[in-house]
Amino acid sequence: MTTPVPTATPDVVRARRPAHFGLAVLALAVGGFAIGTTEFVTLGLLPQIADGVDVSVPKAGHLVSSYAIGVVVGVPLLSFFGARLPRRGLLVGLMLAYAVFNVMSAAAPGFAVLTAARFLDGLPHGAYFGVASLVAASMAPPERRGRAIAAVMLGLSFANVVGVPAATWIGQNLGWRSAYLTAALVALVAVAMVLAFVPSVPGDREATGRREAGSFFRNRQVWLTMTAGAVGFGGMFAVYSYIAPTITEVALLGEGTVPVFLLVFGLGMVAGTWVAGEMAAWSVMGSLVGSGVATTVVLVSFWAIAPYGWWLLPIVFLITAIGSVMVVNLQLRLMDVAGDAVTLGAAMNHAALNLANALGAWLGGLVIAIGYGYRAPALVGAALSVAGVAILLWSAALQRAESAAHSDASTS
């Protein structure tokens, strides 16, 4: 079960240590903060955006889907063409694109242009986190690789605690367009910090898009890991997508309590991301399987406790805390099994997680529409988590068998 973190990768060997490691990682995390803020602020401002571009709220919800589609499309495209580029320059370019497309969103005259802008804004998402993870790992000692990547992902977690509520408040008081301008400003701050504190890290000069894609997509362990993420992580989104009506109609709490639960969701992400770095130093695969089993238990608990008001709050915290452990270790797992396609491997985790978002939300909505109520998505999520654990165990068994066969061939 235990999968030790590799002691070196080509990127770790080639990287130059930064003069200020903490500031370099903070710069990368600020980019994640900008991405997390712009990704989720649309959810908090849907009514205002709908009024602003003269569409219904359900139709405005397509903006969220448009962003997610952009993430899925952008990961292979940008990783395919960017593997040879210097890492710091690529990070700056991706953040500048975020700033430009957020400004485009703010200036959109109508729904069609806004939809296109949200799609374009999603394109750099996965590539940024993938490259930032590689750079963070390359700057850190081998034994602290997982902690460095977790520190970068904390930017996304803090966005849900600070960035999204702040941008939502700004959008509610100064107009929804101001929220996207705020996200653009944060992206520019990230650009300045990356240029100031992140050392120059060369790309893989031997890489080509064809080699990256061929190596990556012919790799069985890659497909199993991405499938485990897309399926297993869908359980969290099955609950998160319908948390507001669950709180008001099942737990029978007032609408004013919903922000409290959303804040606790964000705090869970922060705590889980920090714990993930510590667990990665123990075992990446063990962390993945353990978090999958724990997610199943917690989601069943959510279903059982949902009618009991405030007792649901700690369960909400645990859902995102455990889910964040899975996110960071899925990132590491893909980097480990990607072989020569390390750039693509580091980025594709975010495509898989956005597929998890779509799958969980769709299946959760399906059981609600059938008539099983707002508690039912938690059981759907638990089933998805069980399936994810099964895929991970299959992946681990195949890896052990392949290692044994390689060992036998070496000794014969």
3-state SS of 97-132 is HHHHHHHHHHHCCCHHHHHHHHHHHHHHHHHHHHHH
Q: Report the candidate in 261, 180, 268, 235 with the shortest Cα–Cα distance to residue 363.
A: 235
When comparing pLDDT for 88 and 210, which is higher? Answer: 88
What's the confidence (pLDDT) of residue 209?
A: 56
Longest dimension (CA), the chain: 72
Q: Please give the mean pLDDT across all residues of the chain.
A: 82
**Among 4-18, 124-138, 268-282, whose mean pLDDT is lowest?**
4-18
Which residues 6+ apart lie within 8 Å of 127 measured at CB? 74, 75, 78, 79, 82, 90, 94, 347
Is 66's pLDDT higher than 50? yes
Helix, coil or strand: residue 198: coil
- What do you get for the CA distance between the two ends of the chain, in Å? 26
CA 179, CA 38: separation in Å to the nearest integer? 8
**Average pLDDT over every residue of 108-127:** 92
Q: Which residue has the higher pLDDT, 165 or 145?
A: 165
Mean pLDDT confidence for 318-330:
88
- Say if pTM beats, i.e. exceeds, 0.75: no
- Condensed to tens digits (0 to 9), the pLDDT of residues 276-299 reads 877 877 888 899 999 999 999 999
> At residue 8, does pLDDT exceed 60?
no
Question: pLDDT-based confidence at 193, cuts 50/70/90?
Answer: very high
Which pLDDT score is estimated for 410? 61
State the pLDDT at residue 110: 93
CB 126 within 8 A of CB 32: no
Core vs surface per residue 226-238: b (16+ CB within 10 A) or e:
bbbbbbbbbbbbb
Residue-wise pLDDT tens digits, 216-239 = 677 788 889 889 988 988 888 788
**Domains in the chain, please, with CATH?**
8-207 (1.20.1250.20), 208-406 (1.20.1250.20)
At which residue do the structure tokens 């700056």 appear? 92
Q: What is the pLDDT of residue 100?
A: 96
Predicted confidence at residue 311, as pLDDT, reads: 94
pLDDT at residue 206, rounded to an integer: 59
Q: pLDDT value at position 394?
A: 93
Candidate from 2-11, 163-172, 403-412 with smallest mean pLDDT: 2-11
The closest of 313, 303, 308, 276 to 145, measured between CA atoms, is 276
Number of residues assigned to the chain: 412
| pLDDT at position 120 over 80 | yes
* pLDDT at position 62: 77
How many percent of the chain have pLDDT more than 70? 85
Query: CA 195, 94, 331 angle in degrees (round to 5)?
Result: 100
Quick one: 73 exposed, middle or buried, by C-beta within 10 A (0-12, 13-18, 19+)? middle
Both tokens assigned to 319: 């859902």
